[in-house]
Structure 1
Amino acid sequence: MSDTIPLVAVVAMAENRVIGSGGEMPWRVPSDLKRYRRLTMGKPMIMGRKTLDSIGRVLDGRDTIVLSRQGKGVFEGAHLAATATEALAIARACAETRGADEIVIAGGGEIYRLFFDEIETLYVTEVMTSPKGDATFPAIDPAEWDEIRSETLERGERDSAETRFVVYRRRNTPASRSTN
């Protein structure tokens, strides 16, 4: 059962695929935080140590699995994994315990790339800006991904840019590839 829990990515990215600069997001979109919370609540989240450092704490109501080569610097309450296989095993156990229907890949750039071929759904907040940055999200190839839903979001008064929320589903999911 736990091997069939799909991997999803939740990401905010700029038009040029930038997701971070110097360990921080190069924009402010506080109006999107409720959506992020709703998409991730009650689910295990796999992230890198730098991403957890940028958040500054373990988020409530979610299991945080930190994939780190350093094996240190993890906040109290987070699970530490040294390999992607170990991170997935911990996430699957957490998902089964919680009854979660998805495992969230939560960044940063290296973590998204590491799991990208196994991700079935992308929840993307497109931030309408093109800042410089040192972390990017992988290209979303329209030959591999279908846009199944999109919504232009109303810009909040504290938001630094316009946004659009898009859900993509992989055409040939990892689960369907293993049965062919």
Structure 2
Amino acid sequence: MTKITMIAAAAENNALGKDNNLLWHLPDDFKRFKKLTTGHKIIMGRKTFESFPKPLPNRIHIIITRDKNYRVDHEDCLIVHSLEAALKLVQEDDLAFIIGGGEIYKQGEPHADAIELTRVHASFENADTFFPEIDTEIWMLSEGEYHAIDERHKFGFTYLTFVRKSEK
């Protein structure tokens, strides 16, 4: 059975980004994302995929789009037209990640077994994309690791790992 983990960085008000860009730069969070997702399939919406300068190395990208003519000429990219189709492509894997954006997180949450959330300690009122509210009736915090502001990080942040309380 595949473990599905949603992974995101979201502000205190659940802001994810604006105009298909992140609202912060956290190098340690990028390193953690790379460490956790490398070698696994990553499920994302088309806009999230298009926010990357190029496909991320050592990961199979499963891109969800309604556009039946959408194509990506890269061997590590698969195009599907629903979350259900994306989940079928990972059913033989031990672990796969849902990496965004906001609508894909909403659709994916009922299928997820865990959430790896980097909580950015700030609020961004100008955001146009948000992470879903985490329901503590469904999710239990299992780990947390705080990182203070430093010369490379303008915002403090905390890595939070949530696990589903009961079976899906």
Return the offset for 1:89. 1.5
| CA positional deviation for 1:91 | 2.5
Could you list the runs of 5+ residues in structure 2 that have no partner in the other structure? none
Aligned match of 2:80: 81
Aligned to 1:32: 29
2:96 aligns with: 103
Q: Map 1:58-97 to 2 at 5 A.
A: 58-71=55-68, 72-74=70-72, 76-77=74-75, 78-93=77-92, 95=93
* Runs of at least 5 residues in structure 1 that lack an aligned partner in the other structure: 96-100, 175-180
The one of 111, 115, 119 equivalent to 1:122 is 115
RMSD in angstroms over aligned alpha carbons? 1.4
TM-score w.r.t. structure 1 length?
0.86
Amino acid of the structure 2 residue aligned with 1:172? S
- Counterpart pick for 1:136 among 120, 130, 146: 130
Richer in helix (by share)? 1
CA deviations 1:103-128 (Å, max 9, x no partner) are: 10010001001111111100010111
Q: How many residues align?
A: 165
Percent of pairs identical after alignment? 29
Alignment deviations for residues 60-117 of structure 1 (CA, whole Å, 9 cap, x no partner):
1111000011141535231000122211112235x3xxxxx21100100010011111
